[in-house]
Amino acid sequence: MSEPHEQVFFEVFEALPRQGPGSRECTARALALCRGLPARPAILDLGCGAGAQTLDLASLTDGTVDALDTHAPFIARLAREVAARGLQERVRPAVGDMARPPCVPHGLDLIWCEGAAYFLGIENALRTWRPWLRPGGFLAFTEVVWLRADPPGELRAFWTKEYPQITDAATHLATAARCGYQVAGHFTLPASAWWTDFYTPMEARVRELRLAHAADARATTALDAIQAEIDLHRRFGAWYSYEFFVLRAA
Ligand SMILES: C[S@@+](CC[C@H](N)C(=O)[O-])C[C@H]1O[C@@H](n2cnc3c(N)ncnc32)[C@H](O)[C@@H]1O
């Protein structure tokens, strides 16, 4: 049985178009950095959530996309969407762990991971996935990074508590080199990638659930915490963002 705060968390996230910052435009821009992909690339989308970027990858390529997430309701939602779009031949959603997939992949052209590599730790993820790529294959992932070295105390305190591993893009690029990758390119997600399909619908969902859970103090506390994170980004979004990293197996 899930903790009450976990239930509220999923009630919020399952209703959103995507489960992290991102956009079709950013996915397309990162994909364009994967120069020389075959006509039908074999793609593995890790921590796919409800699959916003999975479906974008399917429409932006003629390849196959295996999409993996541990949260079964996300995979069920993606599977319904795949069926509705008639994509079953090319897009295969599955419940599974991106550290230990049901069958160990090999010879992949492209591994994709928007906003989920941090669950494994970036260096661990890069080392785990490297053998799954063919020589010259690509890994594209997003990760939160500091944009400035002088974060206000309140912001630093938040990240120290929530994710002390937060660092800057240069540190990740050095890690990538150590783990056997070349850098094909990288870029910072624009503000719109945080708001349009993520924080704006999240705020609306939080408002909706406040009414539904008005008598439940623990649910209200959980919703307060989600709203606080949104407010923090509204005030301090100039200090941190997501970076899209596109790496090539050297
Ligand atoms: C921030 S969400 C990003 C989802 C999606 N890529 C997006 O950008 O909308 C992170 C996702 O990683 C999934 N996840 C966490 N740990 C995982 C693991 N070990 N294996 C597979 N998925 C995992 C979560 O269930 C969640 O859906």
- Rounded CA separation 89/81 (Å): 13
Residue with tokens 């929530």: 162
Q: What pTM did the predictor assign?
A: 0.97
Best mutation site among 2, 13, 98, 197 for ligand 1 pocket (most ligand atoms within 8 Å of CB):
98
Q: 67 forms bridges with which residues in the sheet? A: 45, 93
- Rounded CA separation 83/110 (Å): 23
**Annotated domain spans of the chain:** 20-191+237-249
Per-residue pLDDT of 123-173, as tens digits, reads 999 999 999 999 999 999 999 999 999 999 999 999 999 999 999 999 999
CATH of domain 20-191+237-249: 3.40.50.150
68 CA distance to ligand 1 centroid (A)? 8
| Mean pLDDT, residues 12-22 taken together | 97
Find the angle CA(98)-CA(103)-CA(108) to the nearest 5 degrees.
75
Element (H, E) at 115: none
- Nearest-atom number in ligand 1 for the CA of 19 is 9
